[in-house]
Amino acid sequence: MVRWDISLFGFGGQGIIRGGQILGEAAVLEEGKDAALSIAYGPEQVGGWSRADVVISDEQIDFPLVVKPDVLIVMSQEGLDRSWKEGRIPRKQLIYDSGLVDVSTVKGIKMVGLPATKIAEQLGRRIIANIVVLGAFSEVTGIVKHESLLKVIRRRFPKAIELNEKAFMEGVRHARGGGAVV
């Protein structure tokens, strides 16, 4: 059985939970896998911490919660700090928004950083930073295929397909370069 525990951590308004939904939906509907998404967030609507935990497996998932992620995606400094404080340090891979997260204290973990929010701003919509990150995640880990995620993204955002595809592929491109430190 191949099981992946993935955690996306950022703040309310960044589309963290939406990112988790897209990831889970792509795994379940496009790749026939099992997935479970659980969400947690601080009391504030926007700006408080927000976390999406996604378990993806090619077999039926027994325990659906993430205790320690294999892959951690952080889009805020608090996301990184809280994860370390709570012992939710990734086993395999850290992906981070290099414009928002300082990883100078992190040692001994495979890391890929990309300025996802800056990239999204340059494309004209800050709120698609989560899509940029999903592109990077897919490229770096291969856990969910590009096309599976793109299918879900097209279905979910029919009015902004081109923009979202561009954001996704920008994430892929930056991750392919090992994560440009911009």
Partner 1 sequence: MTDGLIPPGKYFMQGNIACAEAALIAGCRFFAGYPITPSNEIAQWMSYRLPQVGGHFIQMEDEIASIMAIIGASNAGVKSMTATSGPGFSLMQENIGFGMMIETPCVIVNVQRGGPSTGIPTLVGQGDMMQARWGSHGDYEAIAYVPNSVQEFFDLTIKAFNAAEEYRQPVIVLADQTIGHMYGPLVVPPHEEIKIVNRKLPNVPPGVPDFKPFDAKYEVAPMALAGMGYRIHVTGLTHDEKGYPYYTHEVSTWCVKHLVSKIRNNAEKIWEVERFTLDDADIVVITYGITSRPAYQAVKVARSEGIKAGMLRLITVWPFPEEVVRKVSEQAKVILVPEINMGQMIHPIREVAECLVIGLSWAPGAVQTPDVILDAIRSVSR
**Buried-exposed string 91-108: b where 16+ CB fall within 10 A, e elsewhere:** eebbbbbbbbbebeebee
* Least distance (Å) between residue 27 CB and partner 1: 8
- SS3 percent helix, strand, coil of the chain, rounded to 5, is 45, 20, 35
- By CB under 8 A, residue 21 contacts partner 1: yes
First to last CA, the chain: 38
Residue type, 15: G
Residue 70 found at the interface with partner 1 (CB under 8 A): no
Query: Which one among 47, 58, 59, 63 touches partner 1, defined by CB under 8 A?
Result: 63
Residue 180: burial class (beta carbons within 10 Å; 0-12, 13-18, 19+): middle
CB nearer to partner 1: pick between 29 and 103: 29
Selected range binding partner 1 among 17-25, 95-103, 115-123, 166-174, rule: CB under 8 A: 17-25
Strands 49-57, 3-11: pairing kind: antiparallel
Q: Give yes or no for residue 180 binding partner 1 (CB under 8 A).
A: no
Site membership for partner 1, residue 13 (CB under 8 A)? no
Q: Which one-letter amino acid corresponds to residue 115?
A: P
From the list 2, 45, 46, 67, which residue makes contact with partner 1 (rule: CB under 8 A)?
67
Q: Does 99 bind partner 1 (CB under 8 A)?
A: no
89 binds partner 1 (CB under 8 A): no
Q: Is 157 in the site for partner 1 (CB under 8 A)?
A: no
59 binds partner 1 (CB under 8 A): no
- Closest by CA to 22, choosing from 137, 162, 174, is 137
Which residues of the shown chain bind partner 1 in the complex (CB under 8 A)?
20-21, 24-25, 28-29, 34-40, 62-65, 67
